[in-house]
Structure formats: structure tokens, C-alpha cells
Chain A
């Protein structure tokens, strides 16, 4: 059975802001989730703290341990551009991130990104599950995370096939473990 190379492909960038913020660039710079959010240094309207909170929440909402942080960062970075032209969205995002922090402070005396326990962070997300902020963030992430072509190989999905001649010669019927009739 033809297996595929599951190392995530770092070969093209998918986000509009270009090389400075695409996952490839993020990878090259070694950017990862963290309170410092050094990767968020060139934001236009959202603060690095807000962006760090969103990225941490993104991983907590759709946790895949084999996905590097840069994909979650790439999934939330578009909010900075969108917030620049959409005041309602900007307020929703900023207030939502602030509420995550407020809940974290109230429960544990520290910011959301500084909570070490995943279960503690997930409990806070569950508390906010019914809010428009959470619905918007989850709904956007289900596209902005899983529609990154770079992550597809990690899940064993091969994407477009027409340019490779389809699967007719590439394993469409190569399953080899089923019980005999």
C-alpha cells in the first residue's frame, strides 16, 4: 500500500501577508507559542498579547500534537488584517481575548497563555463556548487551520490529484489488509 511522507511540507506560503508571516517564514524564524509573542512584532492593529492568546486558544480548540505551533499562528494571523478594516470584528476579538484572560486571572491568578495545564485552559474555553467570540473563532479556525496545504501531509491527505494523473496508477485500490472473502 502506498504510504505518504507525513513530514509537513514547508514549500509555499498561504497567507496574504506574505513571506514575513507565512508558516514557512515562521518556521525559519523558530516562532512558537508563548507569552512573548516575538512573532507578533509587526502587527498592525491587534496587540501581541491578544494575538498570543488567540494562537494559544487555537491550539486548545483544535489540538494536534504533531502540528507545530506555526500552523496555529498562521491560522490566527489573518485576524490582524481583518480587524484593521472591520471594527465589529476587532471588538469581538479583543474583548474575547480579554475575557479569556479575565477568566484565567479569576480562576488561577495568571493570564490565559501562562496557564500550564491544558485542562485549565479547556475549562475556560468551555465556559465561553456559547459566546459569539468562541463561535467565530472556532468557525474561522476550522477553515484557516485545516485549509493550510502544508498540514495536509501530516494527516495523510494528498490534496490535488489531477496534476499527478489522478490515483489510477497511484494506489486508488491498493488496500492490502482486508479479510479475504
Chain B
């Protein structure tokens, strides 16, 4: 397995090993580049995963301190846990549910299609669906997405069957068991789904795609990819010409190391990536690296989410089988007649008893709450995934008071719902409740959004360097060899789970970087 010298300035350094970083690292290694991935978390393989919600959370979740502000309820209920994402090799691809949706054409042109919306900082992507389609196709093949490439869809579980029956009653037309990066039959030397549940806790079958056991070992097999776990990036350095020159990181023992670099790619998810750029401020870049626009950390999006859980007269056992077992797409279009711009998906979701107790209505107690849990096995559940509005003041900043154990300011996440987000959520709650009531729900719950799992937009793509942080390739407008490779480059959020788009962008970015390297540009 490759092991590169700290002073080797010919390596590409990627920060983060999830959907963006893990994919980019493998792609570049396959194309002949030498790559070091710095991963803040440890390496937990499939056999280490735990079918137990709290124990798994302790093993995988990013629990380092963050702070919060704004009117979102997460700031009150979970003030130090704005996001439910992963600190481990494979990043949040260990935890994700597997939903793999393509953006539709209008979602790359949010500003043009939705028009000016007061308070929203909407912008069109500098790329189109047509440009990304070939990379979506590669990503779907790579990840083994059901409903593509002749791969059959997964069978529906009980939770899906309730969703589908309700959708049918409401007159919805487009519902199925989803486009999932979960093997419905053995493929790519991985087995098929055995309907364990516990998709969020790391798939113990390895049936769900994760960079941990696909891209990363494939890259390592080339002899050109080295993954360094327990390596927390502290700052990115640059040379006198304003080129990224290396990354200072804390190793497993807390010692600071400096890995020199030919090119640096940031893929630490939308909270840590802007934090790292802001913490890398220098005399030349006093507002943070790549931040001449002032947009680093701004336009933080988390999707307009929320859950509906409903109780039925007879049992459902929603926890049996895949967590995200099906989807209704009829509300995904942009239809302003509903009173908001953009659309949303309804996707099944289930939590085990321990997490449902924690998240059904955080802070609740008494018989109104416990009588709901008494009906746990009679419950069905769904999750709303809707496009939220980018807003300049929804942002990740450096906390002026709280520092991590390496002495670096932690990320502070401020979020307020936009009126469009609130209107969409109200509509989606109503449709979710109606769907379940159509098949006999006796009680339903509008569950507040969980700590964010989809974190987007804080280093957004823009055609003009004034409007965003990176260009259409994810390259920083301000530096010739600094890239952003995660969901923070999203210009807008779309009504789609983001992972497929992150992977498609990483494959495309790798092709672009390899071309520039071959031409001697970097």
C-alpha cells in the first residue's frame, strides 16, 4: 500500500474520504496521480459496524463540538449537534440511506426558473443537466443504483407498502422503491440487501455503496492512494505565488504534521470545508482562503425536511428492512401554484425505538408523548426532502469563543428557515398526513427536522468569481490548484438526496484535474 513522504510535493492531498473525497481519490489514482487522503476519523470496516443506534452513533458520528445560532429548532434541541454526519473513513457514505436521484434540468437554473425571491440568494449553476448526464450515468453504474443499468429495484418493505397504498389513494402516480445504491442482487463483488434495517448504522452486508469498501480499496490497489485516518486538517498553506502548497494536520497523537502538495481538494462536508478555508486565512488571503467573494460559509442549505409518523390500528413494524424503502416523486416538480418555489420528495424513513424516542419530538415528555411510543410497532414513517432557499445569512462562521483541542476555532452554524421553506414544509406535512390518513392512520405526528444530514452550499459554484467560491469544475476562483469536492460546492440544493450528484461531480472533476496535470497546468 502506498505511503508518501510528508515532503513529497508531487502528491494530490484530499481532505475527507466520503462521497466526494473518496471518489475523487480513487479516480485520480486510477488515472495515475499519487494521492494522499487525510481523514479526520478512524477506519471502521464492515465487520465493526454495530446494529445498535446509540452504540453506532458513538462509533461513527461527528461529535466534535460545534455551536449553533438562528431560529431553527435544532439550535434549541441539539445546540452542539447541528448535523448528523460521520467522522470515519468513508465519511457519511457509511451512514447515508442510499437514495440516488438525479437533479432535473430546472434545478440547475434555480434563479432563472424561480425568479427573484426576496431574501433568497438564488443563483444558477454554471453547469447544466446535459453536461452532468454522462457523469451521472458513470456514477449510477459505479454505485449500482437500482432502477438504472438494468438493475432491478429493491422489494418494498412494510413501511413502503403503507406509503404506496396511501400514495395510490391520494392519486399520486410516481412512487416506487427508489433509485438506491443498494444491491438488489449481487454486483461488483458485493452481496445483496438482506433487509437488515440499520442502513444508518453502516451496512453490515456491504450491500449499500460506501467509499469505505468500494472506491477507497480500489484506489489503494493501484499503489497510488494512501488514506491517513485520524488526521484532522488544521489549515491549508500557500506559497508566495498564491498556490496551495500543503496541508497542516494533527495526527492520531495530536502532533502537527505538514503534508506538501501539488494540488489540494477539500471534501470535509459543508460545515468543516468552509471552516478549514476560514481557518486558513493568511496575510494574502485575510478573509480566508478562496474567499474574495465573501461567500465562503454562506448560503448554507440543509434541505427543507421533516418527518411524518403515523399510527395505525394494526402493526406495521416499519424498522424491518431498508430504512429508505421507497419514494413518492409527484411533489418534486416546480409548481408555484402550491405557494412555494421548488419541490419535495416523500421518502420512507424509520428509526429504531431509541432514536424515535430521542427525535420524535425532542424535549417532549408525559403521556401524550409516551402513548405515541407505546404504538411504536404500529407506526409508519416518512421523510420530507425539499429544496430550501440559499440565504446569505445562513452560514458557517468561526466561533469567536470556542476552540477545538488543537486550538482552532470551531464551526458555528446559523440557520433560519426562509418563508419558502416554511410554506413547503407545511404543504409536505399536510400531504404526508393525508397520505397516511387515507389508509387508516388514527394519529399522526409532524416531526421537526433532525440535525442536518444534507449539508450543502457553503462553497458554492458560480460563473462569476463575485458570486461564489468555486468555478464550474469546483476549482477555487482565487487559487489555481485548490478544489472543493463535496456538497459545499452546490449552488442550489434541488429536491434530491445529494450523494449521487456529489459523486458525479467528483468523477467529472477528476477527469478535469487529470487533464490539467497532463498538460502541466498544475
Interface stretch (choices B363-371, B446-454, B514-522): B363-371
**Per-position 1/0 for B341-374, Cβ under 8 A of A:** 0000000000011100110000101110110011
Say yes or no: A138 contacts B363, CB within 8 Å.
Answer: yes
* Category for how many chain A residues contact B: 35 or more
Identity of the chain A residue whose Cβ is nearest the Cβ of B49 in the assembled complex: A162
Q: What does DSSP make chain B's interface, helix, strand, loop or mixed?
A: loop
| Contact present for B195 and A175 (CB under 8 Å) | no
Is B135 in contact with chain A by the CB < 8 A criterion?
no
Please measure, in the bound complex, the distance between the C-alpha atom of A147 and the C-alpha atom of B155, giving whole angstroms.
Answer: 30
Per-residue CB contact flags for chain A residues 139-181 toward chain B (1 = under 8 Å, else 0) read: 0001101110000100111111111011110111111011101
A175 and B161 form a contact (CB under 8 A): yes
A residues neighboring B (CB under 8 Å): 1-4, 61-64, 66, 122, 125, 138, 142-143, 145-147, 152, 155-163, 165-168, 170-175, 177-179, 181
Q: Does B196 lie within 8 Å of A167, measured CB to CB?
A: yes
Decide yes or no whether B158 CB sits under 8 A from chain A: yes
Complex Cα spacing A168 to B196, Å = 7
CB-CB < 8 A to A178: which residues of B? 161-162, 165, 439
Residue of A nearest to B50 (CB): A160
- A64-B194 Cα distance, complex, nearest whole Å: 33
Pick from A143, A146, A170: contact of B320, CB under 8 Å: A170
Q: For residue B354, which residues in chain A have a CB less than 8 angstroms away from its CB?
A: 143, 146-147
Whether the Cβ atoms of B315 and A173 lie closer than 8 Å is no
Q: From A125, A162, A173, give the contact of B158 (CB < 8 A).
A: A173
CB-CB < 8 A to A147: which residues of B?
54, 354
When the two chains form the complex, which single residue of A63, A142, A171 contacts B358, counting CB atoms closer than 8 Å?
A142
CA distance A173 to B155 in the complex (A): 8
Which among A3, A166, A177 is the interface contact of B205 at CB below 8 angstroms? A166
CB neighbors of A among B478-508 (8 A) = none
Complexed CA–CA distance, A64 and B353 (Å): 14
Per the bound structure, the CA–CA distance linking A167 and B282 in Å amounts to 55
Query: Are B373 and A64 in contact (CB-based, < 8 A)?
Result: yes
Question: Across the two chains, which residue of chain A brings its CB closest to B77?
Answer: A139
Contact partner of B377 (CB less than 8 A), chosen from A63, A66, A142, A157, is A157
Assess whether A64 is in contact with B374, with CB atoms less than 8 Å apart: yes
- Closest Cβ neighbor of A163 among chain B residues: B51
The answer to whether B367 touches A156, judged by C-beta atoms less than 8 angstroms apart, is no
Task: Give chain B residues whose Cβ lies under 8 Å from the Cβ of A1.
Answer: 314-315, 317
Q: Report if B319 contacts A (CB, 8 A).
A: yes
**Cα–Cα, bound, A21→B229 (Å):** 40
Closest to A171 in B: B320
Report Cα–Cα, A74/B382, bound state, in Å: 33
Tell me which residues across on chain A come within 8 A of B227, comparing CB atoms. none
B450 CB to closest chain A CB, in angstroms? 15
Q: What 17 new A-B contacts, CB under 8 Å, besides A146-B358, A179-B439?
A: A4-B377, A142-B358, A146-B353, A147-B54, A156-B376, A157-B376, A158-B317, A162-B198, A162-B204, A166-B196, A168-B195, A170-B320, A175-B161, A175-B317, A178-B162, A178-B439, A181-B165
